[in-house]
Structure formats: structure tokens, C-alpha cells
Chain A
């Protein structure tokens, strides 16, 4: 089957969705996905971030589809033409979805463990506004303790349903779900029971935002100060292939390996994730490659670094060099734009 996305043509198998076809093609035309997860069944359609315009239904029926379609749930037809980046309607809808997702989001990225590897952050950088039009108080939830391994921050949740599907399909029994409806729907165990069944730790990896984070890693470090290494161990429950997030010789966090769309390659068990924080337990394969522009890659840990000297003490006591010159020497004026501030 032939499908054209933003003017680029690709041949795909029948039954492929538009999003999958776009991912096969790669490049900037891939719609963002906050809820769809290729490794799980029956996900997607909720977040509406991947809406695209189908400007031609198929060769047989050339009519365009009147509404924007969720690309993760719409299967391609032969000869379909899809507009993503090239459609102003799509760009506007995506901006709208981003705004909707952010109005009740606490925007507490500075204290959020997910910051740096957060899909909502990425979406906001690309499609978000700098200003908010939402004047009201944000929706909040009572904190809920769901066990000693997983931290739930309901306020940050975007209700993508990924963790629900993970628990249903990967673990041996789902004990949490969505309670309530509307903008007060929340991920909860209902009776505040602990989520501790095996493989439940994967909900941390599938969560696109910081709603479910690793309690054993909580506030330990920003993700971009960690150095990720691929490692593996013999595990009788799972594949044992993980990414270790190191700070010096210390393993601060263990996650599954994620692909370019931030989806885990293979799910790992709770034992690998939480209980093996000693380098002796692992066979380290080597540093993990990251996207060129990701904040984690700004670390540049594969390259030799120049020594950075920060004279904190001197600067605090005497001020920055350039300021000192201006203050003591009247013939060096402040720049005009500086004096305005």
C-alpha cells in the first residue's frame, strides 16, 4: 500500500497505522505521541497530540476526511495522502492539545525527576506557548502512597492510560486504574494499596510525564547529570537488558532500554530495576548513545572534557569581573539595554 505523508511516499503493509508509517519514514514528519505505545496493545487515541489531516482518503475514495484523525489509530488506505507539518490546521490543533495538557499541569519541572526525559516537556518546547491563558487555580489531588518503589504524582498525570495497559498486559494482575471522570479522573489504587507485583515497575518507564517515578531514585540527581550505560545480567524473569544511570561508580537508577520514540525495547522485572544497584551485579556493555539534541546528551560524556574552573568564592565576594570594572571605572558605561533593567 502506498501512502504519502507530507509529500513523501512510502510503501507499507495493509493494517499499518499512519503513525507507524510515519515512523518507518522517520524525520520531522513523525507526529508526537503521548499515549500511543507500540509495545502495548490497544493504546492510543486519547491524547490527541498525534492528530493529522487526511487530505485524500484513498485512491478508491478521494474525498478528504472532514475531521482531523488520530494517526495512531487510523489505518492507512492505498493512495492516502496525509498532511502533518504541512497543514496549518494540524499545527493549530497540536498547539491546542499542548495548551490543554498544560493548563492543569503543575509545571514543577525544576523539582520533577522526569525533567530532561519528559515527553510533555518535549511537546511543550515544540508546540507550547510562553504565556498561559488559564487564570484559575490548577486542579490538584491528595497525595497517594502506592508503595515503597513507585512514586505517584497525580497532579502531573495526563491520563494517557499507558500505565493501566502495562499493568493489564505485562504484570500478573492490575491493581490500579482510573477512578472518577472528567478533569478529576485520577490514576489510583482506590484503596491506597501498594502496587508491588512483578513487572509493575515498568509503569515508570511508560509514563510520558513525571506522574510515576522511581522512588529509589527520587531527588537523587537530575537525569542529565547521570551517565547512562547499557548493561545486562542473567535474570530468570526478564531479558535482563537495562540502562544503568551512573553517577561516578554509583548506580542511581536502572531503567529498561528506550528507543528513539522513548518506548522501552524490552520490559524488565522489578528485581532488575530496584534491587541491583551494585556494579558487580551487572555486565556493563558501554555508554549509551542519545539523541543529538537531547538534554541528556549535553553531558557529552563520550568526549574528553576540558576542565571547568568556577571561582565561586571569588565571584560571590567580589562580583563578576565585568561588573566590577563598570562600577569602579565610570568611563566604562553600562550598555543602554542593561540600564533599562
Chain B
């Protein structure tokens, strides 16, 4: 069995409750940190661990912590980003639902490292029941003396609040999250200034993903060096992958970074192979925002090397032949899936979730959605593919926040790798009007009909 850091104790009955969690070695990292370590020593450990942010961008967490402005004398905040809304990603929910105290332990240790006395967990509105679980766990932690004034008799105090969002994908962007937490409309801010200098209420703030923070207790307990031994190269540690789609065993898996994609999809330990043993058609390795990979680029990179589950290997080849680790929303498609419909579905999501602040994203996402809907329902014209390409190119990089890019990339990759399918939709409008067109006749069997 592979090394488990986050899900090690997930199967212990009652681990949700404080008593069981404490009996199984919970909150040891808080004891160790507050009694024996200085805040800077913890930051150094996290730096040494090479832990990369698990929210999507993969930015080294220790580095992010070291950017926080400690000189200004303003109060500092740690905000946990639990606004997990990326289609295909559900790992944070699993963690918070089943082992909420791990997150709270991580929050206390991390807040101590950053010198934050007021920290927040921002959870998405759709996770109302998880919100209640976290709130109960926080109450238990307060009652046991892990939160509040003078934790463990030291002079360190911490208040932790959980705040419920109102159901907006954009509030997962860190500055929009901060705006929302301040009680405003969740519009992303223009950077700079970065949150590390001026975040929540103008104070230095660090925003970290649930999974990143949940890794901190293990790093404090076992040292960053141990953590760096797990994984491969610059992708250290383990990662939660939310596997879904046409696989036999969908679910949340903790993997050691560095296993092959082939092993992850086909081994019995993880996804267990393709459902009905149909051929694989496409893979989205990191949530809806990352480029889709066609069958020939899933197990092997363009250079012919094995594709590994690491940040580097998944992005091997850039956007032309690679993708991204993203948030670990691993979506597998077999040959009955329609890429155009899937792309339209994503485009619809982004059009719905765009905050409407800046013009390219507001107008462009809606436009792409309309064009894709036309193609999917058999009303597309031959210029539409080039039009789509042009729209996505003009959104990408011209917006305030990464949502514009996230909306553009899946469309770009779908056209890049599956252009023939788009052409099929345009050339055979009568066939695609049947929603199950590729279930009845998979694209491979009718590919020859498409004329160039």
C-alpha cells in the first residue's frame, strides 16, 4: 500500500469526533509547534517539504508563507479556501466531511506559523452540511482548549471562524474570496497589491487550500525533509485525486505523486480500469479548467515517456500536448462521450459563473457558450470553429483574474485535439441532434465520414 498522509486514519470509526481524533494522535502537531518550535521554524519546515499548493496553481506553500508582510505590524490572517467549486473536484469535501479536525489542527499550526490571531475557513454555500460539521468541530476544539486565548498556556491566542459563501465559483479566487469574506460582492481584486501585503481588511493575508493546510500537521510532526522524500522531484508528498467519469471505481484517492497515469486508471488499488472495458477517449487530469488530453497523450507524453501523476509530467509539452495537475479533478471519458457536448457544458458553467466585472470574460464566456450550443445542437457553420478559437484566444490573458483563462483553455484544447469531432457536428447536423449520438456509434467508427 502506498503511503497515506491525509487519509491514513479516515477509516477509524468516529474519527469525525474530537475524542477519537485526539486518541489517535490528533493535535500532536499543535503541541509540538507551540511548545517546542518558533513560527519561523515551522515556515522553514514547510519550505523544506516542498509542499505545493493543492488548490490548482501549485505554488510552493512555504514560499507563499514567507511573502507575508510581517514588518508592517498589522494583524495577519490565515484564510482557508474551502470554496471547492471546480467541476470534477470533490477532495476537500471528503476531507472536511470525514476528518474535520485534521483541517482545524492544520489551521491552528499554520496560523501559529504565520502569527495570525484571527483565521477563517471560507466554505462554499452548497456545502451547508459540511459547514455544520466544521462548526461543530470548531466548538469541540474551543472546548478542549485548542482554540481561544492562551492556547496550551502559551501567550499565543487564536480565534477560528467558519464562513459560508453564497454559491459562487468565483469566490474560490483568493481576492474574490477575501472580498466576499468582507461582506462585499465577490469580485476579484486587481493585483498588485497581493493578499500577502494587503488582503483581508487591508491586512496581510495568506489564502491556502484545505488539502494544503491539512498536510501541515504531518509536516510538523515528521519534519519537512521526510515529506520531501515522498513523491518525485519537485512534486513532493501525496495528493488527493477526485476520480470520476467512465471508470470502475470513482472516488477520492490519496496517491504518492510520481505513480504513472496508467497505474492510477487501471490498477485495482485505484480506479480499477474503464467501465465496461470500453476504450478510453480523453482525460481531464485536473478539474474542468485544465486542457483535455486525447487518448494518445494520456499514458505517454508526446516524447514517448510515461505520463506520471506529477505536476511536471502532466504539464509536459505545455498546452500543445500536455495539461495540468490543477486541483486533481480527474475526469475520464470513454468513447461514448461527446467532447463537444462536454466542452459546451463547461462553457455554460463558466458563462454562469463569470463575475461580470471585466469585459472579455463577461461577454466572451457567454458568446462561447452560445456558439458551442449551436454546434452541439446541429446548427453550427464551418466558420464557427475558427470563431470559437478566436474568441478564446482573445479572452485568455486579458482578464483580471484567472477565470477568463480557465474558461478559454478547455475550449482551446478541445479544438486542438478534437477538431474532427467539431467538424462532424457541423457536417452531420441531423445525426448530432440525437443526444446519444456517440453512444450509438462511437466517433472512431464514423471518423472516416468527416471530409476535410
Binding site for B on A (CB under 8 A): 45-49, 51, 67-68, 70, 73, 92-93, 96-97, 99-101, 103-104, 133-136, 139, 158-159, 161, 177-178, 180-185
Residue of A nearest to B394 (CB): A96
Q: What residue of chain B has the Cβ atom nearest to residue A177's Cβ?
A: B185
Count, chain B residues at interface, CB 8 A: 30
Q: Which residues from chain A contact B400 at a C-beta distance below 8 Å?
A: 45-46, 70
Q: Which residue on B lies nearest to A186, using beta carbons?
A: B356
Which of B86-94, B302-310, B358-366 contacts the other chain? B358-366
B363 touches A103 (CB 8 A): yes
**A182 pairs with B362, CB closer than 8 A:** yes
CB pair A183 B358 closer than 8 Å: no
The answer to whether B354 touches A183, judged by C-beta atoms less than 8 angstroms apart, is yes
For B398, list chain A residues within 8 Å (CB).
48, 51, 67-68, 93, 96-97
Residues of B within 8 A of A45 (CB): 190, 358, 400
Contact B358 A47, beta carbon cutoff 8 Å: yes
**Contact between A48 and B359 (Cβ–Cβ < 8 Å)?**
yes
Q: Which residue from B360, B366, B383, B387 sits with its C-beta under 8 Å from A97?
A: B360
Contacts of B399 in A (CB 8 A): 48
Please give me the 10 A-B residue pairs with the lowest Cβ-Cβ distance, nearest first. A185-B356, A96-B394, A183-B366, A100-B363, A182-B354, A45-B190, A136-B370, A181-B356, A100-B359, A67-B397
Say whether B397 contacts A182, CB under 8 Å.
no
A181:B354 contact, CB within 8 angstroms: yes
- Cβ A182 vs Cβ B366 within 8 A: yes
Expressed in whole angstroms, the Cα–Cα distance for A180 and B355 within the complex equals 8
The answer on a CB contact under 8 Å between B356 and A48 is no
Q: Which of B190, B356, B370, B383 contacts A182 (CB 8 A)?
A: B356
Looking at the assembled complex, report how far the CB atom of B414 sits from the nearest CB atom of chain A, in whole angstroms.
Answer: 20
A104 — nearest CB in chain B belongs to which residue? B363
Instruction: Please state if A46 and B370 are interface contacts (CB–CB under 8 Å).
Output: no
Q: Tell me the bound Cα distance from A148 to B121 in angstroms.
A: 46
Could you tell me the distance in whole angstroms from the C-beta of B349 to the nearest C-beta in chain A? 11
10 contacts between A and B (CB under 8 A): A70-B400, A96-B360, A100-B367, A133-B387, A135-B374, A136-B371, A136-B374, A159-B356, A182-B356, A183-B363
Residues of B167-188 at the interface with A, using a CB-CB cut-off of 8 Å, are 168, 170, 185
Where chain A touches its partner, the secondary structure class is: loop
Q: For A181, give its contact among B353, B359, B387 (CB under 8 Å).
A: B353
Instruction: Kindly count the residue-residue contacts between A and B in the assembled complex, taking CB atoms under 8 Å apart.
Output: 91
Residues of chain B lying within 8 A (CB to CB) of residue A100: 359-360, 362-364, 367, 394
B360 touches A183 (CB 8 A): no
Contact, CB under 8 Å: B397 / A68:
yes
* Partner of B359 from A46, A177, A184 at Cβ < 8 Å: A46
Give chain A nearest CB distance to B166 CB in angstroms. Answer: 11
In the bound assembly, the distance between CA atoms of A177 and B374 in angstroms comes to 33
Contact (Cβ within 8 A) B370 A101: no
B357 within 8 A of partner (CB)? yes
B352 contacts the other chain (CB 8 A): yes
B357 and A46 contact, CB distance less than 8 A: yes
Q: Which residues of B contact A103 (CB under 8 A)?
A: 363, 367
Give the residue name and chain of the B residue nearest to A164 (CB): B185
B426 contacts A by Cβ under 8 Å: no
For residue A70, which residues in chain B have a CB less than 8 angstroms away from its CB? 190, 400
Which residues of the other chain, A, contact B375 by a CB distance below 8 angstroms?
A: none
A159 x B367 contact (CB < 8 A): no
Report Cα–Cα, A339/B369, bound state, in Å.
45
User: A-contacting residues of B (Cβ < 8 Å)?
Assistant: 168, 170, 185, 190, 351-360, 362-367, 370-371, 374, 383, 387, 394, 397-400
Bound form: Cα–Cα A73–B357 in Å: 15
Tell me how far the C-beta of A248 lies from the nearest C-beta in chain B, rounded to whole angstroms: 40
Interfacial chain B residues near A184, Cβ < 8 Å: 356
B365–A182 touching, CB < 8 Å: yes
**A-chain residues with CB within 8 Å of residue B387 when the two chains form the complex:** 133
Closest residue of A by beta carbon distance from B189: A45
Residues of chain A within 8 A (CB-CB) of B397 are 67-68
- A93–B393 Cα distance when bound, in Å, is 10
Closest Cβ of chain B: how far from A192's Cβ, in Å? 20
Contact A181 B370 (CB under 8 A): no
Across the interface, A159 reaches (CB within 8 A) one of B170, B185, B360, B362, namely: B362
Contact check, B363 vs A185: say whether CB atoms are below 8 A apart: no
Contact assessment for B359 and A158 in the assembled complex, using a CB-CB cutoff below 8 Å: yes
List, in ascending order, chain A residues with CB within 8 A of B354's CB: 181-183
Q: Tell me how far the C-beta of B401 lies from the nearest C-beta in chain A, rounded to whole angstroms.
A: 11
Docked Cα-Cα span, A67 to B396, in Å, equals: 10
CB neighbours (8 Å) of B371 from chain A are 136
Please, how many angstroms separate the alpha-carbon atoms of A158 and B363 in the complex?
Answer: 10
Pair B190/A101 contact, Cβ less than 8 Å: no
Tell me, in angstroms, the Cα distance from A48 to B360 when the chains sit together. Answer: 8
A47 to B399 alpha-carbon distance, docked (Å): 9
Contact A159 B365 (CB under 8 A): no
Once the chains bind, are B168 and A73 in contact (CB under 8 Å)? no
- Asked whether, in the complex, the Cβ of B355 is within 8 Å of the Cβ of A97, the reply is no
> Cα distance A139–B365 when bound, in Å?
13
A183:B362 contact, CB within 8 angstroms: yes
CA of A216 to CA of B363 in the docked complex: distance in angstroms? 32
Provide the bound-state CA to CA distance between A103 and B356, in Å: 15
User: Chain A residues with Cβ under 8 A from B366's Cβ?
Assistant: 104, 139, 182-183
Q: How long is the Cα–Cα vector from A69 to B8 in the complex, in angstroms?
A: 46
Residues of A within 8 A of B185 (CB): 177-178
CB distance from A138 to the nearest CB of B (A): 11
Contact of B352 among A51, A92, A161, A182 (CB under 8 A): A182
In the complex, what residues of B have CB within 8 A of residue A101's CB? 359, 363
| A94 to chain B: closest residue by CB | B398
Residues of A within 8 A of B353 (CB): 181-182
| Additional A-B contacts beyond A48-B360, A133-B387, A183-B354 (7; CB < 8 A) | A48-B399, A49-B359, A68-B398, A97-B398, A100-B364, A101-B363, A159-B357
A51 to B: closest C-beta gap in Å? 6
Query: CB-CB < 8 A to B170: which residues of A?
Result: 181
B169 CB → nearest A CB, Å: 10
B168 touching A47, Cβ below 8 Å: no
Q: In whole Å, how far is A95's beta carbon from the nearest beta carbon of chain B?
A: 9
Bound CA–CA A139/B362 (angstroms) = 12
Q: Are A180 and B356 in contact (CB under 8 A)?
A: yes
CB–CB A181/B358 < 8 A:
no
